Copies of this chain bind each other. A is one copy, B any other.
Amino acid sequence: MSIRTIVWGENIHERTNQVVAEVYPDGMHSTIAEALNQDPAIKATTATLQEPEHGLSVERLAETDVLLWWGHKDHGGVSDEVVERVAKRVWEGMGLIVLHSGHFSKIFKRLMGTPCALKWREAGERERIWVINPRHPIAAGLPDHFELENEEMYGEQFSVPEPLETVFISWFEGGEVFRSGLTYRRGAGNIFYFRPGHETYPTYHNETVQQVLRNAVKWAHNPLGTYAAIHDAPNVPVEKALEPIVERGPRLHQAGEAGYR
């Protein structure tokens, strides 16, 4: 069965900015979904900010394996309820790939627990992305580095938690560096942050970038199914203890009672 993937796009600049509209006439989300669908193992659809529930209903998310997230101009426009819904699905095992300016999205900050801030400059400068973890699944088929002739600069410090693994580090023409590919696991969900993708440049038309996205979807996919127990904090009654024990001392809770949250 193919990996059920949603590419979520904010879909604002594509409709309001002439430059962006020319680079991505059908929206960035469509370009990305098309790139993913080149791999028969992936079945990608799209969702946007403007749709009801931003296109991320409970039902649809329940049948989604991997979600990609691109937003920039209106992070605040995403409803808190949907953010919480997505976070829960990630903990249950849905993969999440956060793209570029998505570093400041509510969902990424929610899952990282840090500011996720960085330095930036919009000058169309050269970015060279180094693979520092060769043979990592997300770097499959890549050379030891690749270049994007025009990109926005993101510079360190990138205030995120120490990652599980660093896959890419970027060199910028203007003198900065950035950890451009970082992996995390939160609950049963795999998370990948990938830096490139400023909307005024044709980054998501780049073949190597597309390859990274396809690799990332496969890496983020957890084929073991929804882990619903992640939400539970079960009381284990004394009489069901795995080793026989006798209750001792005073207690607050009655047997079988739920804990405080």
Binding site for B on A (CB under 8 A): 13, 17, 19-20, 72-76, 87, 91, 93, 101, 104, 110-115, 117-125, 128, 130-135, 137, 140-141, 144-145, 150, 153, 155-159, 161-162, 164-166, 169-177, 179, 184-188, 199-201, 222, 224-225, 227, 229-238, 241-243, 245-253, 259-261
Contact = CB atoms under 8 A, between A and B. Distances in A.
A110 to B, nearest CB: 6
A236 B125 CA distance: 13
Taken together, the copies of this chain in the complex come to 4
Contact of A140 (B128, B161, B224): B224
A117 to B, nearest CB: 4
A114 B186 contact: yes
Contact of A238 (B121, B134, B235): B121
A125 to B, nearest CB: 5
Contacts of A164: 162, 164-165
A93 B243 CA distance: 38
Given A76-B261, A171-B176, 7 more contacts: A13-B252, A114-B187, A121-B238, A121-B241, A124-B249, A130-B176, A171-B177
A181 B135 CA distance: 23
Contacts of A91: 114-115, 159
Contacts of A135: 93, 188, 222, 224-225, 227
B173 A243 contact: yes
Contacts of A161: 161, 184-186
Contacts of A249: 124, 150, 200-201
Nearest to A244: B174
A134 B261 CA distance: 22
Contacts of A233: 104, 117-120
